[in-house]
Amino acid sequence: MRRPRAESTNSSWRLLRENGGLGVAAITYVLVDYLREVSPSWHERLQPALWAALALAALARAPFYRHWSLEIRAALPFLVSLAFLLAALLCEAISVRFVSAVLGLDWHRSASPLPDTGQWLLLALNEKLPQVVVDILRAHIIGLHHYLMLFMMLGFSVLFNSIKAPGLGFATRYLFTLAIGRLLRAITFVSTIFPSVRPWCASSRYQIPPHPHPWAQKYYEPYASDPKAIRRLIQTDTHYAYVKEYPVEYRPDWGRMSFLVDILRPSVSEGSRWYHLLKKASGGCNDLMYSGHMLVAVLTAMAWTEAYGGWTSALIWLLVLHSAQREVRERHHYSVDCIVAVYVGILLWRVTGFIWSAKDTSKAKRLAKLDEVQGRLMHAAKDSDIDELRKLLMEVDLAGQERQSSQWAIWAFAGIATTFLLSCILLAFIWTSDG
CB 356 within 8 A of CB 172: yes
Question: Is pTM beyond 0.85 here?
Answer: no
The whole-number pLDDT of residue 145 equals 86
SS3 138: helix
The whole-number pLDDT of residue 297 equals 95
Cα end-to-end distance, the chain, whole Å: 55
Q: What is the dihedral of CA 109, 114, 117, 119, to 10 degrees?
A: -20
Residue 52 contacts by C-beta under 8 Å, 6 or more apart in sequence?
none
The whole-number pLDDT of residue 71 equals 84
Segments of the chain with pLDDT less than 50: 1-19, 434-435
How does DSSP assign 175-241, residue by residue? HHHHHHHHHHHHHHHHHSPBPPSSTTHHHHH----SSPPHHHHHHTGGGSS-HHHHHHHHHH-S--S
Residue 71 contacts by C-beta under 8 Å, 6 or more apart in sequence?
165, 166, 167, 168, 413, 414, 417
The whole-number pLDDT of residue 15 equals 44
The whole-number pLDDT of residue 13 equals 43
CB 181 within 8 A of CB 295: yes
Q: 287 pairs with which residues across the strands?
A: 194
Summarize pLDDT for 318-330 with one digit per residue, the tens.
Answer: 999 999 999 999 9
Which sign does the torsion angle of CA 83, 84, 86, 90 carry? Answer: positive
The whole-number pLDDT of residue 343 equals 92
Nearest to 432 by CA among 150, 125, 52: 150
Q: Cα dist. 394→47, 181, 235, 406 in Å?
A: 51, 44, 75, 22
Which sign does the torsion angle of CA 142, 284, 257, 276 carry? Answer: negative
The whole-number pLDDT of residue 88 equals 94
